[in-house]
Amino acid sequence: MLARLDNRMLYAMRTRWHGPRRESVAKGLALLGEYGWIWLAIGIAMALIDSGQREEWLRAGVLGPLAIGLNFAVKLVVRRARPKLDELPPLGGAPSSLSFPSAHATASFACATAMTRIDSAAAVLFALAALIAAGRPYLGMHYPSDVLGGAILGTLLGLIFPLGLD
């Protein structure tokens, strides 16, 4: 039953609200989220802006690429294949054929969570994390449950990752 719901949600995301501009935005967000680099860039930018918490911001930014590595280890254990919908090929490429959990979601939610621990105003970054994550099934790269699993894993990582906060 859950697999059927996952497939239905994926199909809906792949067939509704599509158009050249929306697909370009989703592809751009996917590129931003690739390997967690946007989160490293945000961490570096915030370290330059907030010198009083420089180390914490840098650690939170580094969590993005680190989360990708941990995510891949989980993918190797779970071994779920990426979705394939007849006549709806994915609108992007991926470094592996493994799907669960979504690395984009894991890194994004890990960093948004960690950065919010540093400064509550960083909670606005959850909007970016959600957009990056939602783009994955929209582009046909992941099942919605892959994104949910990545968001949960990322949030947990963001809560436990040592930031050096006093």
Q: What's residue 79's pLDDT?
A: 96
pLDDT of residue 127 exceeding 90, the answer is yes
Q: How much is the average pLDDT of 72-88?
A: 93
Tell me the per-residue pLDDT of 7-62, one tens digit each, with 9 for 90 and over. 999 999 999 888 899 999 999 999 999 999 999 999 999 999 999 999 999 999 99
Q: How much is the average pLDDT of 70-91?
A: 93
pLDDT of residue 87 exceeding 90, the answer is no
Query: Percentage of the chain with pLDDT > 70?
Result: 99
Kind and range of the H or E run holding 51: none
Rounded to whole angstroms, how far apart are CA atoms 139 and 30? 9
Asked if 111 contacts 64 with a C-beta cutoff of 8 angstroms, the reply is: yes
Beta bridge partners of 88: 85
In which band, very low, low, confident or very high, does the pLDDT at 110 lie, cut at 50, 70 and 90? very high
Domains of the chain: 2-160 (1.10.606.20)
Q: What's residue 165's pLDDT?
A: 73
Rounded to whole angstroms, how far apart are CA atoms 160 and 166? 14
Q: What's residue 47's pLDDT?
A: 97
Q: What's residue 88's pLDDT?
A: 87
Q: What's residue 164's pLDDT?
A: 83
pLDDT of residue 166 exceeding 70, the answer is no
pLDDT of residue 126 exceeding 70, the answer is yes
Rounded to whole angstroms, how far apart are CA atoms 126 and 131? 8
Asked if 150 contacts 104 with a C-beta cutoff of 8 angstroms, the reply is: yes
Whether the link from the prior residue into 101 is cis, omega within 30° of 0, is yes
pLDDT of residue 97 exceeding 80, the answer is yes
